[in-house]
Amino acid sequence: MFDYTNKTVVITGGASGIGRSASLAFAKNGATVHIIELQAPGWAELKQEMIEAGHPAHIHYCDVSDHQKLLDVFQKIGKPDVLVNNAGISHIGRVTNTTEEDFDRLFNVNVKGVYNCMFAAIPMMQENGGGVVLNMCSIAAWVGLADRFAYSMTKGAVYAMTISAARDYLQDNIRVNCISPARVHTPFVDGFLARNYAGKEKEMFDKLAKSQPIGRMANPEEIANLMIYLCSDEASFITGTDYPIDGGFLTLNT
């Protein structure tokens, strides 16, 4: 249904977690996928899976917070049809136990990284007659998640940047949206539980999963499916919107 043949898709953080599933999904739908990653230990396996899907992928090692290096990467890639700003990092802490260093680190990756990619990609999309930007937001932008001060700050900024850019480039045939997942079962979650709840991983996993009214975490493929739709021609009437994909977290929690 969703044909990405002859389209170039750039995905930041596209070699792990949600990004990995997105990279595979776009490739399976015909896209030429360019992944921007700081590090990608599972790249060889992902590359092989994408080749088997019929569309080889390309990886570019770059820190999304490095403005000039990112501009250089986009010059090598060429004009993108789709940009998925997926790269991001998390942090646990309140205002009073979030250090300045941690605050800056989250801002540089989660906020400046999104700005850097849009700064590089949007002029190319204008030259190309249009395009799609999809930013990774979070339910943390909308509710007060405990101990997620800096992370919530960055996702609130992502939402604001999304609707601002959507308005500014509407006449350029550039659509800009974001999605807000609740908890997604990725290797990050497993690593977090192993580090912080050794011996109680299953108990804590079940507790986190049941915090979604639907009774489980999302799997990365479900997030990727929404990405595929929102970046497709079939979604051509959608811009300036945040899509929660949260198992009812925002509306059904009491």
Position 94 in a domain: yes
pLDDT at 189 over 70: yes
Tell me, rounded to whole angstroms, the distance of Cα 31 from its chain centroid: 17
Considering the domain boundaries, does residue 119 fall inside one? yes
Residue 159 has a pLDDT of: 98
CA–CA dist 91, 70 (Å, integer): 24
In a domain, 2, yes or no: no
pTM, to two decimals: 0.94
Same domain (yes/no): 159, 42: yes
Stretch 87-107: mean pLDDT, rounded? 96
Shared domain check, 69 and 51: yes
> Cβ(31)–Cβ(9) under 8 Å?
yes
Cα 225–chain centre separation: 13
Which residues have a Cβ under 8 Å from the Cβ of 234 and sit 6 or more positions away?
Answer: 1, 2
Residue 106: what pLDDT?
97
d(CA 46, CA 55): 12
Q: What is the CATH number of the domain that holds 234?
A: 3.40.50.720
Query: Domain total for the chain?
Result: 2
Q: Is 143 among the domain residues?
A: yes
199 and 168, same structural domain? no
Shared-domain flag, residues 77 and 203: no
Residue 200 has pLDDT above 90, yes or no: no
- pLDDT tens digits for range 142-179: 998 899 999 999 999 999 999 999 999 999 999 999 99
Q: Which domain, by its residues, includes 96?
A: 8-182+220-252
- Three-state secondary structure readout of the chain: CCCCCCCEEEEECCCCHHHHHHHHHHHHCCCEEEEEECCCCCHHHHHHHHHHCCCCCEEEECCCCCHHHHHHHHHHHCCCCEEEECCCCCCCECHHHCCHHHHHHHHHHHHHHHHHHHHHHHHHHHHHCCEEEEEECCHHHCCCCCCEHHHHHHHHHHHHHHHHHHHHCHHHCEEEEEEEECCECCHHHHHHHHHHCCCCHHHHHHHHHCCCCCCCCECHHHHHHHHHHHCCHHHCCCCCCEEEECCCHHHHCC
**Residues 147, 81: one domain?**
yes
pLDDT in tens, 43-63: 999 999 999 888 888 999 999
The pLDDT assigned to 48 comes to 92
Residue 211 has pLDDT above 90, yes or no: no
**Catalytic amino acids?**
151
**209 shares a domain with 174:** no
Residue 254, pLDDT score: 62
Mark whether 187 and 98 lie in a shared domain.
no
**Residue 195 sits in the same domain as residue 98:** no
